[in-house]
Amino acid sequence: MVEEVLEFLGPRKGEVIVDGTLGAGGHAEAILECITPGGRLIGIDRDPEAIARAKERLDAMAASVSYHRENFRGIRSVLDGEGIDEVDGVLLDLGVSSMQLDAAARGFSFRGDGPLDMRMGPDAPRTAAEIVNEDSEDELTQILYRFGEERWARRIAQFIVQARERRPIETTGELEQVVKDAVPAGARRGRKHPARKTFQALRIAANDELENLKEGVTEGIDCLAPSGRIVVLTYQSLEDRIVKSTFNSLAKGTGYPPGHPLDVAPALELLTRKPVRPGEQEVEQNPRSKSAKLRAARKVVA
């Protein structure tokens, strides 16, 4: 959704923009073409492999980019280190990149057998394998239900515990088979893979993704200059709810309970009343973009 990102982020010559999820640098490249000469892009990513790829792609504009192997929840500390007080725009493109999904050694996908890792960066405290083999049945059930909204969370957790008693679950293929065995045959029918929600839940848990999002969105907004824009791309409902709730709350004014007067002036103006979805052509070219939702807001001038 590069065109949509540029439309709502509105980067202009000379501006300072934060790409908090640099990835392979696709959005960053498009943004740099809009803000240079004179502008600067602050690139942040937890994944050292992603930063290495982005450096190669953005080499021609290296003088206008700085790279930080950090979690985007620490945008403020990154900017402090650069001596920057406020920025003109913040972009957060959440979820797992194609290069991460396609690398079996990273353990994000059940479509290729590899070690059950799922860490987006070396700062993640535990691998998915450690969670699967160490957490109790109740803890696993909570993870699968809360982060995967998995109907069969308890049953899958039971099967995981039973399987690991025989031997540790160490690969994506082993976990996929356990989940397939756990989900009743009738529930396995359909186009979506029965292990999809389990893998999503474990990835979120391993990387503390929802807490990162809550803090990252709030901190990103705090770092915006007056009239600065924030654009967030989400790929599943849990993420989108957090972004929607945060944007709506700040657009109404903090401390705005129903039936009471507005206590604090709104901090944001919503640029998207409803999430923007990718067009048919983009979905056809990149099926993984089908679930994307874009929300954007502008910081209100105090």
Portion of the chain with pLDDT greater than 70, in percent: 92
**146 plus 173 within the same structural domain:** yes
pLDDT tier at 256 (50, 70, 90 boundaries)?
very low
**214 plus 295 within the same structural domain:** yes
Measure the CA–CA gap between 172 and 115, rounded to whole angstroms: 6
- The number of folded domains in the chain is 2
Whether 120 is covered by a domain: the verdict is: no
> Quick one: pLDDT at residue 260?
54
Spatial contact of 177 and 266, defined as CB atoms under 8 Å apart: no
Q: Which residue has the higher pLDDT, 256 or 98?
A: 98
Whether 112 is covered by a domain: the verdict is: no
Whether 107 is covered by a domain: the verdict is: no
**89 plus 20 within the same structural domain:** yes
The pair of three-digit structure tokens given for residue 25, joined into one six-digit string = 């640098």
> Quick one: pLDDT at residue 287?
75
268: Cα separation from own chain's centroid: 21
**222 plus 159 within the same structural domain:** no
190 φψ region: left (φ > 0), alpha (ψ -120 to 50), beta (else): left
Measure the CA–CA gap between 30 and 258, rounded to whole angstroms: 42
- List, as one string, the DSSP characters of 125-193: SS-HHHHHHHS-HHHHHHHHHHHH--TTHHHHHHHHHHHHHHS---BHHHHHHHHHHHS-HHHH-SSS-
Which CATH number goes with the domain that contains 19? 3.40.50.150
| Residue 259, burial from CB neighbour count under 10 angstroms (0-12, 13-18, 19+) | exposed
Which three-class secondary structure state does DSSP give residue 63?
Answer: helix
Which three-class secondary structure state does DSSP give residue 10?
Answer: coil
Report pLDDT digits (tens) over 172-194: 999 999 999 999 987 777 767 89
Which CATH number goes with the domain that contains 158? 1.10.150.170
Q: Which of 192, 207, 222 is the last residue of a domain?
A: 207
